[in-house]
Amino acid sequence: KNIYSEILEAKSQKRKLLAILLDPDKIIWQAMNDLILKINQSPATHIFIGGSLVFSDKIDELILKIKEKCDLPVVLFPGNPTQISNKADGILFLSLISGRNPDYLIEHQVKAVPILKRTNLEIISTGYILIEGGNETAVSKVSQTKPISRVRFQEVLHTAQAGEMLGNKLIYLEAGSGAHLSVPSEIIELVSKNIEIPLIVGGGIKSQNEIQKAYTFGADLVVIGTAFENDNNFFNNH
C-alpha cells in the first residue's frame, strides 16, 4: 500500500498517526540500535528524516540502518534537494506557502525533479505553513521567510485552503523545530474543519498531553522531533 492512501485510510477511520522526525546531523551512530528499539516500542507510525539544514552525507546509510530493524515507512522531510535519498519510501514534496520566497515555493522543487526522476519515491505534495512559535526557528532563518502570526487565524486558513485548491495532498502546520510554542489549538481546529485533505501538525510539541490535544483539535498526524531527540524514553515518561 502506498503512504498517502494509508494516511487517507487512517483519517477516514479516525486513527491518529505519529511521526518521529530524525535529523541526520544529530544521530549518535553508536546508539543507533537503542534508538531503533525505542522507535519500535513507541506509538510512531512513520519516520520522517530531514531538517532545514543537514550537513550529513549519511542519509542513505541512516535509512538503510533503520530499515534493517524497523518496518515503519520512512518519509523524507527535506530542507532542500540535497537531502533526497532513494533509500526512503516517500517524500513530502514541500512548498513553503506561508512564505514569499520563490526558492522555497518553486525553485528547490524544480531543481529536485531530475533527482526525483531517478528514484521510486512516492511523492506527496505538501503545503507547508510556518506559524510563529515564540522564537526564531531554523526553518524561518534558512528560508528567510516570516512565519504567520499566531493570531491571524484567517490568514492561516486561507493559506491552507489555497494549498488545497492548488492540489496539495497534505497541509503541514509547522511552528518550527524547537519552537517554544506549538501551533495554537484554535488554528488546528479551524484549519482541520475547513479542509478535506489530511492535516499534519508539528514543531515545539513537548508532551503526550500536547500530542493528544493536537489530535483532539483535528491533527491527523503529529510530528515529534526535539522532544524524542532529547529523551528517547519520551513515550514512556511523559
Query: 52 among the known binding-site residues?
Result: yes
C-alpha cell belonging to residue 216: 483532539
Block residue for cell numbers 528524516: 49
Nearer of residues 141 and 165 to ligand 1GP, judged by Cβ: 141
Phi, psi (deg, nearest 5) at residue 221: -140, 130
User: How far is the C-alpha of 30 from the C-alpha of 34, rounded, in Å?
Assistant: 9
Nearest approach, Cβ of residue 178 and ligand 1GP (Å)? 5
Residue with smaller CB distance to ligand 1GP, 47 or 205: 205
104 is in an annotated binding site: no
Tell me whether residue 66 or residue 228 sits nearer to ligand 1GP (CB atom).
228
- Tell the burial category of 147 from Cβ atoms under 10 Å away from its Cβ (0-12, 13-18, 19+): buried
Q: Report in angstroms how near the CB of residue 118 gets to ligand 1GP at its nearest.
A: 26
Give Cα separations from 105 to 61, 126, 145, 168, 181 (angstroms): 29, 11, 11, 13, 25
Q: Would you say 103 is a known binding-site residue? A: no
Distance from C-alpha of 93 to C-alpha of 168, rounded to nearest angstrom:
9
Q: Answer yes or no: are the C-beta atoms of 126 and 101 closer than 8 Å.
A: no
Known binder of ligand: residue 50?
Answer: no
Q: Is 99 marked within a binding site?
A: no
By beta-carbon proximity to ligand 1GP, the closer residue of 125 and 177 is: 177
Report, in Å, the least distance between residue 21 CB and ligand 1GP: 5
- Cβ at position 98, least distance to ligand 1GP in Å: 13
Positions that interact with ligand 1GP (CB under 6 A): 21, 174, 177-179, 202-205, 223-227
Binding residues for sn-glycerol 1-phosphate are 172-178, 203-204, 225-226
Feature table: binding site for Mg(2+): 23, 52
